[in-house]
Chain A
Amino acid sequence: MSVNINPTTVTAGRETAAPATMRMNVNKVNFFYGPKQTLFDITMGIGANKVTALIGPSGCGKSTLLRTFNRMHETVRGARLEGEILLDGKNILSQDVTQLRRRVGMVFQRPNPFPKSIFDNVAYGLRINGSKLPIADAVEKSLRHAALWDEVKDHLHKSAYELSGGQQQRLCIARALAVEPELLLLDEPCSALDPISTAKIEELLVQLKDLCTIAIVTHNMQQAARVSDYTAFLLMGQLVEFSPTPHMFTTPSDPRTEAYITGRFG
């Protein structure tokens, strides 16, 4: 059965989930790189203290959408956002961007620790915010939350580059958690890692829900099924379906969703 994935046949058959409270609301977001539009009328919410996954084939706009949540798109010339993104009811586009990024943290696809010691990496966010807390305690707390403390507690002053890939990514998670963000964004955090590290991080994400809200982009559908509470399926810049994960993966409402998750394309 061939599936029509032409964007002009967008149906209104999206089921908007209704998590109890929304940490972030995205209203009619359209995104442009110069003249080219890459996101069309996205409206969805990120539920508080839940894990929301963004899935879809390569190039569908899921990373682009994630990066608007902490305004990282502004580092690219020619990027333009229309629409509204609200964090706890306030529009993020009218807030100070450095304040916003302290409340909304991000972990990238490839681990990117700074060329500093493990301690200084985690302490970086705290130091630039002029945190009044004792830094060593805060660093230990973050490393424990990231399930890395036991592995590095005797080596805090070693360079971060001496860690393995999976450890570096957990270090980046600890670094992001150190400033106690309300929302943590993860852009395909495991795609550069081996299966064991991936499993460790997935376990971590489920535990981190209690601390903060999580939004994760993943091209790995099984991962989305394992870790997330809600899933949004994007296709060619459009939000095709957004529903609770069990529903999405067992009885998807849209035929395109079904085609994607059964592997007929993507």
Chain B
Amino acid sequence: MLSVTGACAAVAVSVLFFILGYLVYHGGSSVNWAFFTKLPTPVGESGGGMANAIVGTAKLLSLAVLVGVPIGFFGAIYLAEFSGNGIIAFVVRYAADLLNGVPSIVIGIFAYTMLVLPFKHFSAIAGGFALGLMMVPITLRSAEDFLRAVPRALREGAMALGASKTRTIATVIVPAAYRGIMTAILLALARVAGETAPLLFTAFSNRFWSHGWNEPIASLPVMIFTYAIAPYDDWHRQAWAAGLVLLGLILIVNIFARAILSRGGTILR
């Protein structure tokens, strides 16, 4: 029994290292200074890099945070502090869990209908909106758990000093749950950083720099998609490099998020 379960555990762990190793092997040599600083070259030419895609991913994730975090954070405060266990709370939680399960391409279609069709062009805003929606369920449920975990004793202590409910939430409960909430946001960010399907027809892509927020914008996942299925070897190498950089980014965010949480320790002595 031990050998079977042990073997399965070993397989689970080794898959991650296998993927990482594969990416390093195929893409490691292509991750160079040019990759980070140059724009893509015309089709067929070699060289060039993905500078615009790296910046594009950063811009899209910033927009996603602006959309997803307020909805998730304030929704979590509503669920943890104001709603109790009634029917409204049940519906909100259930809806968030269902939203989490909506396929990312369907979210993309929704953002396409709302923000691309009416304006008749692709944009970073549409892409950021789609990613932001995907961040909402994770942020909301995790933040709610961390807010609920703040001991009742702290709330009573604040209220006994004459703090109103809103002030108690803002000055005691949220600061106490701060590390957990940051972790929730970072984990949600790591989740959406690699999403490709919703970007395919919202942010689309761009061979050049994207200016402002209303133009189509390049992103690492979409570039990987485009380059991997193209017939050029040079593009394949760059796709591997992009995969390595993207996975590296996601791993760093994940590790950082968990480090924040563990450094926080517990609230109670």
Contacts and interface: CB of A to CB of B under 8 A. Distances in A.
Give the secondary structure class of A's interface. helix
Given A102-B162, A161-B269, A124 B171 contact: yes
A99 B161 CA distance: 9
A238 interface: no
Contacts of B267: 115
Interface residues of B, number: 21
A102 B175 contact: no
Interface string A92-133: 000000111110011010101111100000001100110000
Given A101-B159, A105-B160, A176-B160, A128 B167 contact: yes
Nearest to A129: B162
Contacts of B162: 98-102, 125, 128-129, 179
B159 A75 contact: yes
A168 B156 CA distance: 16
A72 interface: yes
Contacts, number: 64
Given A124-B171, A161-B269, A114 B164 contact: no
B4 to A, nearest CB: 45
A72 B160 contact: yes
Contacts of A125: 161-162
A72 B159 contact: yes
B105 interface: no
A70 interface: yes
B188 to A, nearest CB: 24
A179 B156 contact: no
B157 interface: yes
A175 interface: yes
B161 A105 contact: yes
A129 B162 CA distance: 8
Chain A CB within 10 A, most for which of B153, B161, B171: B161
B131 interface: no
B158 A114 contact: yes
A172 interface: yes
A114 B156 CA distance: 11
B164 A98 contact: yes
A75 B156 contact: yes
Interface string B20-51: 00000000000000000000000000000000
A108 B161 contact: no
A124 B158 contact: yes
B176 interface: yes
B95 interface: no
Interface in B147-185: 151, 153-164, 167, 171-172, 175-176
B153 A114 contact: no
Interface string A171-197: 010011001000000000000000000
Nearest to B269: A161
A75 B165 CA distance: 10
Contacts of B159: 72, 75, 101
Contact of A112 (B153, B167, B171): B153
A115 B156 contact: no
B160 A115 contact: no
B216 to A, nearest CB: 46
Interface in A62-91: 70, 72, 75, 77
B81 to A, nearest CB: 12
A112 B151 contact: yes
Interface in A155-175: 161, 165, 168, 172, 175
A110 B269 CA distance: 11
Given A114-B172, A115-B267, A102 B161 contact: yes
26 contacts: A75-B155, A75-B156, A98-B164, A99-B162, A100-B162, A101-B159, A101-B160, A105-B160, A105-B161, A106-B160, A108-B153, A108-B160, A112-B151, A112-B154, A112-B156, A114-B157, A114-B158, A114-B176, A115-B154, A115-B175, A115-B176, A128-B163, A172-B157, A175-B161, A176-B161, A179-B161
Interface of A: 70, 72, 75, 77, 98-102, 105-106, 108, 110, 112-116, 124-125, 128-129, 161, 165, 168, 172, 175-176, 179
Interface of B: 84, 151, 153-164, 167, 171-172, 175-176, 267, 269
Q: Lowest 4 CB-CB distances: which A-B pairs, in order?
A: A112-B153, A102-B162, A106-B160, A101-B162
